[in-house]
């Protein structure tokens, strides 16, 4: 069982992007839409300070809606196995 996922604005070094973020004991894993499709970025837990909660109409962005969006983009542009696994876990939790 993994840690709960959150939809956040994540700074990946070049730009801010919307990401499904799972914060573990030592690593931060973020599922993002990249040039090559949907993939997972693994960073140290210190990069959590560059994350901010993503809101929609003043409320936290719904995880199920964001997962649906990532799956749709994944079908069109490609998705890695690790990203697919994290999306499955996010829906279960």
pLDDT single digits (tens) 1-60? 467 889 999 887 788 899 999 988 899 999 999 888 999 999 998 888 888 999 988 998
Q: Look at residue 84 in the predicted model and tell me its pLDDT.
A: 93
Residue 3 vs residues 9, 35, 53, 90, 92: alpha-carbon distances, Å: 18, 27, 16, 9, 11
Residue 3 or 73, more confident: 73
Task: Give dist(CA 83, CA 81) in Å, integer.
Answer: 5
For residue 88, the tally of other CB atoms under 10 A from its CB is 11
């Amino acid at each position: 069982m993994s840690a709960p996922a959150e939809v956040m604005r994540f700074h990946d070094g070049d730009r801010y992007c919307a990401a499904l973020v799972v914060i573990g004991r030592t690593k931060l894993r973020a599922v993002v839409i990249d040039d090559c499709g949907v993939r997972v970025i693994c960073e140290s837990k210190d990069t959590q300070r560059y994350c901010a909660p993503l809101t929609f109409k003043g409320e936290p962005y719904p995880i199920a809606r964001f997962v649906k969006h990532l799956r749709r983009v994944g079908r069109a542009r490609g998705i890695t196995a690790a990203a697919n696994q994290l999306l499955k876990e996010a829906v279960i939790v």
